[in-house]
A and B are shown apart, each in its own frame.
Chain A
Amino acid sequence: MTRARPATKVLVYAVLLVGAAITITPFVSMVSTSFKPQAFVLELPPQLIPEEPTVGNYTRAWTSNGFARYFLNSAIIAAAHVIGVLGLGSMMAYAFARFEFVGKKVMFYALIITLMIPGMMLIIPQFLLARDLSLIDTRLGLVLFYIAAQLAFVTFLLRGFFESVPRELEEAMRVDGAGAWRIYWNLMLPLSRPALATAGIFAFLFAWDEFIWALTIINDPDLRTLPIGIALFQGQHATAWGLVFAASIIAITPVLIVFVVFQRHFVSGLQAGAVKG
């Protein structure tokens, strides 16, 4: 970090404030519109503070189209995904961080490659696979493919942290008779709580926001997730923007809470993972 002269400081603030204002404008517009009755959503000139503010869009969004159900579905799927991908990913990360074994390099590169390919590239064969495994229109079909998709990322993130755990601690435990499972469970996982939190946050965001796979394999209205629900609002009521944005705001609220509360974790974890490459 560097210190700046007062004159420079004013300029820095000015630029940052203008940038921040531009960045935030779309959000402001979204919030404002979500409180407008339908008659005012495309008014000219657009009013920042709605003339006749209403929470009607929120109550209508929540009660119509099974939106509350979509919310619950997203919560269930995100929770299952976070637990699954952290469990499997941390086990793999431990193996990669602490063991030498035949096939390590091959597996490692196989994982790396999938980090580089577009996730959507596999959607065609994955769809047919899901159909053959009777996973279409199931929550399991969403969760299993989400875990598979994020496993490489989580493994790399955690492996980095596991490698930084001093080996002496492990040796000490081993002298006391601890096996690999106990070292993994009682040493690696507790010491890596910040990394697990980071990976967990990314996993939550991924599952909560995922759109394409859910759109592709879910037809049953009872199993829809939030992103599908929001996109449908737009399709059904072509210009019911107040409703669309009220639904959007309900959907992104948990994300914002997670983001603001875990902000520090989030930033430091991303940085550790990213700078390492």
Chain B
Amino acid sequence: MTAPATGTRPAGTSPHGRVAGPVTPARSRLTARATPYVFLLPGMALFIGLMLYPMVQAFRMSLYEWNILPGAVSQFVGLANYGRAFDDPVFWTALVNSTVYMLVTVPTQMALGMGIAVLLNQAIRGRVAFRVLFYLPVVTSWVVVSLLFKYLFNSQAGLVNYVLVDLLGVLGSPVAWLQNRWTALATISLLGIWKGMGWSMLIFLAGLQGIPADLLEAAEVDGASTARRFFAITLPLLRPVVVFVTIMLVIGGFNVFISVFLITGGGPANQTEVLLTQMYEQAFSFLDFGYGAAIAYLLTALIFGLSFIQMRWFDYGEETAA
């Protein structure tokens, strides 16, 4: 950072150069040009150094058999790390698991979030209390809720087995939820839905509050049913919000990591591995940084591709562009 303040500048020599100053025009114009960069410098320096540079570096690493010893020479292998991913059964398992998690959690969170938002968008008592309550899982740390679900889905005496077997009698015997691929993924998905639902609820609620009530009342006077009012008026008006939530949740779905890492650790036998747990394991357990970086880039490409397709599909960006 440079000079502390320019507040002592004499009147008429605005740093923006918008108010035409009578004196020292050249110098003040130069300062005016520099001002935004001075404000940007510390933040952008950090951002470029710690975010953009690693982004480029990750791609470079993905092309090497990366040697992590400082100063050691790494061998350039071209796209071999990417090719390796396609031949790696664990990568395919992880890709399928991540995709299933996304496909299960995104629509469920949206439907439940929208449902609760619609219910809370009425003049009822306790709206704030309900809103806080449904949002509670969102603000609770992933580490805590992951351990909590691991406990609840415990095979011997977990609450879930107790309710399903002893209380409701839906199941004949306790299920070892976390020891089997699909039941473990179901548990992790359920956690994702429970934790994320409040987020979409809150955003939908904000959107709903922006819809003029007289519009809906007019439709009601005209005899439109509740369902019809929702689908013909509310939903179309909420479109930008729905698109935003969809895109964010799809990204979030592929970002699943902590819950898998702490609940199953990708096991048994890599059955519940997702893309990020596999990436982390390759890098920090096997020190295979090049392969890890390649997996990271494949995931990024997937997320960017999906976001792009969604934006195109929904014609997003026009009305909400920054």
Contacts and interface: CB of A to CB of B under 8 A. Distances in A.
Q: Classify chain A: how many residues form its interface, as a range.
A: 35 or more
Nearest to B220: A2
A65 interface: no
Contact of B203 (A107, A112, A174, A275): A275
Interface stretch (B82-90, B103-111, B127-135, B179-187): B127-135
Given A117-B300, A241-B151, A95 B207 contact: no
B77 interface: no
B54 A20 contact: no
B255 interface: yes
B43 interface: yes
B312 interface: no
A252 B162 contact: no
B141 A227 contact: yes
Interface stretch (A21-29, A50-58, A75-83, A190-198): A21-29
A23 B194 contact: yes
Contacts of B258: 211-212
B280 interface: yes
B252 to A, nearest CB: 9
Contacts of B135: 259
Of residues A120, A208, A244, which shows the largest number of chain B Cβ atoms within 10 Å of its Cβ? Answer: A120
Of residues A44, A116, A123, which shows the largest number of chain B Cβ atoms within 10 Å of its Cβ? Answer: A123
A1 B147 contact: no
Main secondary structure of the interface of A (DSSP, over half): helix
A92 B37 CA distance: 9
A7 interface: no
Contacts of B304: 116-117
A157 to B, nearest CB: 12
Interface in A76-132: 88-89, 91-92, 94-95, 99, 101, 104, 107-108, 110-112, 114, 116-129, 131-132
A230 B143 CA distance: 8
A145 B162 contact: no
B199 to A, nearest CB: 9
A101 B33 contact: yes
B20 interface: no
A114 B303 contact: no
Interface in B1-26: 4-7, 9-11, 14-16, 18-19
A145 B321 CA distance: 28
A165 interface: no
A248 B244 contact: no
A39 interface: no
A275 B157 CA distance: 44
A118 B303 contact: yes
A16 B133 CA distance: 11
Contacts of A267: 131, 202
Contacts of A107: 40, 44
A19 interface: yes
Which 3 A-B residue pairings sit nearest by Cβ, starting from the closest?
A: A179-B6, A271-B206, A277-B320
Given A26-B137, A252-B140, 5 more contacts: A23-B197, A46-B162, A117-B304, A179-B5, A259-B135
Interface of A: 1-4, 9, 12-13, 15-16, 19-20, 23-27, 29-30, 33, 42-46, 88-89, 91-92, 94-95, 99, 101, 104, 107-108, 110-112, 114, 116-129, 131-132, 144-145, 147-149, 151-152, 155-156, 174-182, 184-185, 205, 208-209, 211-212, 216, 227, 230-231, 234, 241, 244-245, 248, 251-252, 255-256, 259-260, 263, 267, 270-271, 274-277
